[in-house]
Amino acid sequence: MAPTKQLNFITGNKNKLAEVRAILGSVIKVDNQAIEVPEIQGTIKEIATEKCRRAAEVVGGPVLTEDTALEFHALKGLPGPYIKSFLEALGHEGLNKMLDSFDTNRAEAVCTFAFCEGPGSEPILFQGRTEGAIVRPRGPTNFGWDPIFEYQGKTYAEMDKNEKNQISHRYKALAKVQDWITHGQS
């Protein structure tokens, strides 16, 4: 069963924390703890499940974790859950160049939140997806791949926080978390 008063969100990313608090803050208090847990290789769901399970063991109690993926249609879903490593190695321009020889720049932003009650419990997954396109960087470059992901004519980086928080993959996943919390499903 979901916690009723607060959630311990495991992240070291202040931008993600701010988005989660902005979206969930009206229904639950979001605390934060930065914990390093090794990430396995696998599918989005396998990675999210294992990360949450390991975080719950480290904390010894309930946790909420998040994993983000960026799937390029031309590359059959790559870089997917490995987008952070691809971005660090190639930068925004390098990610664009990966698609230069293809006919499509379509992509899907994927956010998977996982909640685990504690050690030994099976994580519950909540996923949100937003279809868009990979474009040359526009807007501030302070939040991951936001400058290259375009949704309806604007990159995530060009949107103000409220606008992004109404349409993003993270918002869609958090809406499912919020529904689960408010309706007390187990």
DSSP states of 50-61 as a string? HHHHHHHHHHTS
Detail the residues annotated as belonging to a binding site for ITP.
11-16, 51, 67-68, 143-146, 164, 169-170
pLDDT in tens, the chain (186 residues): 444 467 788 888 888 888 888 888 777 888 888 888 877 899 999 999 999 999 999 989 899 999 999 999 999 999 999 999 999 999 999 999 999 999 999 999 999 999 999 999 999 999 999 999 999 999 999 889 999 999 999 999 999 989 998 999 999 999 999 899 888 654
Predicted confidence at residue 1, as pLDDT, reads 44
Domains along the chain with CATH numbers = 6-184 (3.90.950.10)
Predicted confidence at residue 185, as pLDDT, reads 53
Q: Are 104 and 94 within 8 A, CB to CB?
A: no
Give this prediction's pTM: 0.88
Predicted confidence at residue 2, as pLDDT, reads 45
Predicted confidence at residue 16, as pLDDT, reads 85
CA angle 31, 176, 15 (to 5 degrees): 45
Detail the residues annotated as belonging to a binding site for Mg(2+).
39, 67
**Six token digits for residue 42:** 């696998």
Detail the residues annotated as belonging to a binding site.
11-16, 39, 51, 67-68, 143-146, 164, 169-170
Predicted confidence at residue 4, as pLDDT, reads 46
